Amino acid sequence: MARTAQVERKTRETDLTVEVNLDGTGSYEGAVGVPFLEHMLELFAKHSLIDVAIGGSGDLPVDPHHTVEDLGICLGQALDEALGDRAGIVRYGHTLCPMEEVLATVALDFSGRPRLEWRVGPNGVIGGTYDSQLSEEFWEAVCRKAGLCLHVICEGGKNYHHIQEACFKGIAHAVRRAIEIDPRIRGVLSTKGTI
């Protein structure tokens, strides 16, 4: 069965779509007017091997915050829909991801219980337009809608771009491991019998 989903979100602040194919090759396409986040999502797609397509727009003259958060909502919903009942998936993923002077530690669980622990810093503006603190808002929204428990620790880097890149790539590799199907797993990987 295809593990794909398409989600649309239209509010007074944004009009966005996200499509995912969990069993893709890591292709990425589309834009929403937040170039740095688009760059990070392209990295996420490439390293997770999830095909990701995004589109739409938001009230960027006000602030990128609404667009970033709503894109996270859409991606989280799309991941949740594509995973279905989570039968057969490994469920857990973790990685250490280096990027120049930065080392990101990521661990996650598609448990159905959303939680984000984001110990990432320092923060700053990247490319004159993207406040790196927006990444926490993005992943908080993903976690809420995907039922994802995500821990990201990346402290002490100097370059804001490197910090964000290590986090997004690390999350991608952890997600890639967690969503893999293991033929030995019958149903969901839980003693409760459900997630």
Q: Which helix (H) or strand (E) holds 92?
A: strand 92-99
Q: What pLDDT does residue 21 have?
A: 98
Report yes or no on whether pTM surpasses 0.95: yes
Domain count, the chain: 1
Is 97 a member of any domain? yes
Q: Which domain holds residue 9?
A: 4-178
Q: Which helix (H) or strand (E) holds 98?
A: strand 92-99
Average pLDDT, the chain: 97
35: left (phi over 0), alpha (psi -120 to 50) or beta: alpha
Q: What pLDDT does residue 128 have?
A: 85
Is 190 a member of any domain? no
Is 134 a member of any domain? yes
- Give me the tens of pLDDT residue by residue for the chain, a chain 195 residues long: 799 999 999 999 999 999 999 999 999 999 999 999 999 999 999 999 999 999 999 999 999 999 999 999 999 999 999 999 999 999 999 999 999 999 999 999 999 999 999 999 999 999 888 999 999 999 999 999 999 999 999 988 999 999 999 999 999 999 999 999 999 999 999 999 888
Is 70 a member of any domain? yes
Q: Tell me the CATH number at 117.
A: 3.30.230.40
Whether a cis peptide bond, with omega within 30° of 0, leads into 183 is: no
Q: What is the pLDDT of residues 140-193, one digit of tens each?
A: 999 999 999 999 999 889 999 999 999 999 999 999 999 999 999 999 999 998
